[in-house]
Amino acid sequence: MKEEHYEDKDITVKGMEESDNNSQGENKKSSKISIIKDFIFYALLFVFCLYVIPTFIIQKTIVDGPSMEDTLQDRDQLMVEKISYHFNNLKRFDIVVFYPYGREEKEYYIKRIIGLPGETVQIKGEDIYINGEILEEDYGKDPITKAGMAANPITLADDEYFVMGDNRKVSFDSRYEEVGPVERKDIGGRAILRVWPLNKFGLLE
């Protein structure tokens, strides 16, 4: 009787040990899976932050030159959202970043939208006309002294925008044949926020 009693105890202990070993093995396996999942998650997050966000969503841009004074100054740092133009959501007076010589070239300009797709733009003296009516705006730092190719009416195509810098005397923009109307495909995004200098931090108008 006693021997049988001890044998039962021995079997029970062995069963508990095997159960503990299995449990530890499962815990180790679960821990490894958890580590792998975490690694994959952070790797995807890294790729998203490093590539997807600046390529398709938002990106920092630096102003180069005085063509947007007094609104923007040379070396101002801006955040540019890159979604609006895909859905034709750009509006008159939006500040945009575009590639005047195509996306193959790295050079980009920052200007303000004056004329929208399908509109006719003309500059007479110091005034801008849209579809034959004077455009009411006060963004220009100085009066317009050069109409350029806009001295004659320019009718924009369904995917074109007429852009000008706020510093009208020095801005190289759609008034010049080398730039001309900007196609939607060459627009890189809409400037929405100035992040530097800090004393001018805020949304752009």
141-161: per-residue pLDDT in tens? 888 999 999 999 999 999 999
Task: Return phi, psi of residue 4, to 5°.
Answer: -60, -40
What pLDDT shows up at residue 47? 57
**Does residue 12 share a domain with residue 67?**
no
Residue among 28, 32, 84, 111 flagged as catalytic: 111
Split at pLDDT 50, 70, 90, the class of 6 is very low
Least confident of 81-85, 148-152, 185-189: 81-85
Q: In the listed set 59, 81, 104, which residue is the last one of a domain according to the structure? A: 59
CB atoms within 10 A of CB 187: 24
Place of tokens 């859905």: 87
- pLDDT of 118 over the 60 cut: yes
pLDDT (tens digit, 9 = 90+) per residue, 16-67? 555 555 555 566 666 777 777 766 765 665 555 555 555 556 788 899 999 9
What pLDDT shows up at residue 29? 65
Distance between CA atoms of residues 8 and 15, nearest Å:
11
Alpha carbons within 13 angstroms on the beta-carbon side of residue 128 total: 26
> Which is it for strands 160-164 and 95-98: parallel, antiparallel or unpaired?
unpaired
What pLDDT shows up at residue 179? 94
**Does residue 93 share a domain with residue 49?**
no
**Does residue 81 share a domain with residue 1?**
no
Q: In the listed set 44, 59, 74, which residue is the last one of a domain according to the structure? A: 59
CATH number assigned to the domain comprising residue 106: 2.10.109.10
Going by C-alpha positions, the residue among 60, 86, 85, 90 that lies closest to residue 193 is: 60
**Does residue 33 share a domain with residue 72?**
no
Mean pLDDT to the nearest integer, 121-139: 94
**Does residue 101 share a domain with residue 37?**
no
CB atoms within 10 A of CB 46: 10
The SS3 assignment for 8 reads helix
Q: Answer yes or no: 111 catalytic.
A: yes
Count up the domains in the chain and report the number: 2
Residue among 67, 82, 171, 174 flagged as catalytic: 67
**Does residue 185 share a domain with residue 153?**
yes
- Give the range of the structural domain holding residue 35, as residue numbers without chain letter: 1-59
Mean pLDDT to the nearest integer, 109-127: 96
**Does residue 76 share a domain with residue 171?**
yes
